[in-house]
């Protein structure tokens, strides 16, 4: 059976803001293992839409580091910076159906409006867009574009994660109409990821747990664009001594791609396999992953 016949396409989608580190290797490895365990395709997509954070050359370093860990994509990597026309097309389609609208609010405007309504976010929480520009700009200059969320009447959008189980988020109350194109012209991650997952035929998204909170937004956007929803599996995060998610900055220092880092990443994924070489480790890890995560029909 060919990979396509198996009906599985997975991907690893790093933002090239710096080299890979032990946390991002866990997500890369999990997505690769799941693709191999299903006999599917594994793609790499470089998410370089945020030009304020992209570091020149980081893309090549990441691809090289992945190869040093035995992870070779089945197709040449896709670069989001080359996909503006597709994102524009998606935005145009949404605007035409009045599912997206221009917004004139700066962050300060949003916070002022939330303060006026007594709805300032609690510490560590995102500001929920109060809908100021939903019914028009009233002569103000447009800055960004937002998705017009469908009326959910306070009902949660529900989805199932293969590892975390049932998930639910009331987008209207917890997020609000979110940005699709930023004021600086950059395409928002949420739009780019949804357009590209669909364009690449991705059936299974396997990525770090920090992105679980974006999934309901992505499903809402898939529905607005008439695109299919993939299956999701969010992997454990690598934390520092104080329990915070390892950032690229902190994690990169001691990271040496190769057998040792692969073994460590496998341990984070709960796979205690041994091996003398990267290839041996990966082969055993695919078998262990299959047993744990692949449902035999
Ligand atoms: N580019 C995102 C990141 O590096 C990941 C996107 C995804 O896997 O959906 O955090």
Ligand 1 pocket member 45 (CB < 6 A): no
Domain boundaries, the chain: 9-82+201-215+230-293, 85-181
Whether the CB of 207 sits within 6 Å of ligand 1 = yes
Q: Which of 9, 15, 59, 238 to mutate to test the pocket of ligand 1 (most atoms within 8 A of CB)?
A: 15
pLDDT of the residue at 238: 83
Please, are residues 101 and 95 in contact by the beta-carbon 8 Å criterion? Answer: yes
Question: What is the DSSP-derived secondary structure letter of residue 271?
Answer: -
Ligand 1 pocket test, candidate residues 19, 35, 196, 211, most atoms within 8 A of CB: 211
| Residue 156, pLDDT score | 97
Each residue's pLDDT tens digit, 209-239: 999 999 999 999 999 999 999 999 999 988 7
CB of 59 closer than 6 A to ligand 1?
A: no
Architecture per CATH, domain 85-181, reads as Alpha-Beta Complex (3.90)
58 has which bridge partners?
none
Residue 6 Cβ < 6 Å to ligand 1: no
Q: What is the pLDDT of residue 248?
A: 57
**Model confidence over 147-198: pLDDT tens digits?**
999 988 889 999 999 999 999 999 999 999 999 999 999 999 999 999 999 9
What is the C-alpha separation between 141 and 147, in angstroms, rounded?
18
Contact 206, 186 (CB under 8 A): no
**Which of 15-19, 107-111, 220-224, 235-239 is predicted with the least confidence, judged by mean pLDDT?**
235-239
Domain spanning 9-82+201-215+230-293: CATH superfamily: HUPs (3.40.50.620)
First to last CA, the chain: 16
Indicate if ligand 1 lies below 6 Å from the C-beta of 217: no
Asked if domains 9-82+201-215+230-293 and 85-181 share a fold, the reply is no
Half-sphere CA count of 238, side-chain side, radius 13 A:
23
Distance CA 161, CA 231 (A): 7
Q: What does the alpha-carbon distance between residue 130 and residue 253 come to, in Å, rounded to a whole number?
A: 41
State which ligand 1 atom lies nearest to the alpha carbon of 24: 4
Q: How far is the CA of 13 from the centre of ligand 1 (A)?
A: 5
């Amino acid at each position: 059976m060919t990979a396509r016949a198996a009906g599985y396409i997975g991907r690893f989608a790093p933002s090239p803001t710096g080299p890979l580190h032990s946390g991002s290797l866990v997500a890369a490895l999990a997505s690769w293992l799941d693709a191999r365990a299903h006999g599917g395709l594994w793609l790499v997509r470089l998410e370089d839409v945020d030009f304020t954070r992209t570091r020149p050359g980081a893309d090549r370093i990441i691809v090289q580091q992945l190869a040093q860990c035995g992870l070779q994509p089945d197709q040449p990597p896709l670069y989001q910076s080359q996909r503006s026309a597709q994102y524009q097309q998606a935005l145009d389609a949404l605007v035409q159906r009045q599912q997206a609208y221009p917004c004139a609010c700066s962050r300060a405007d949003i916070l002022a409006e939330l303060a006026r309504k007594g709805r300032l976010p609690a510490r560590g929480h995102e500001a929920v867009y109060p809908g100021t520009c939903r019914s028009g700009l009233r002569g103000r200059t447009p800055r960004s574009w937002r998705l017009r969320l469908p009326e959910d009447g306070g009902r949660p959008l529900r989805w199932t994660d293969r590892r975390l189980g049932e998930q639910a988020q009331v987008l209207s109350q917890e997020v609000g109409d979110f940005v699709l194109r930023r004021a600086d012209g950059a395409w928002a991650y949420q739009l780019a990821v949804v357009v590209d997952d669909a364009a690449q035929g991705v059936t299974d998204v396997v990525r770090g747990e920090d992105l679980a909170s974006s999934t309901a937004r992505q499903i809402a956007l898939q529905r607005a664009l008439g695109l299919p929803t993939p299956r999701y599996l969010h992997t454990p995060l690598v934390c520092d001594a104080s329990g915070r998610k390892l950032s690229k900055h902190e994690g990169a220092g001691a990271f040496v791609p190769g057998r040792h880092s692969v073994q460590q990443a496998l341990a984070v994924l709960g796979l205690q396999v041994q091996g003398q070489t990267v290839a041996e480790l990966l082969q055993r890890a695919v078998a262990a992953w299959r047993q744990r995560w692949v449902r035999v029909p």
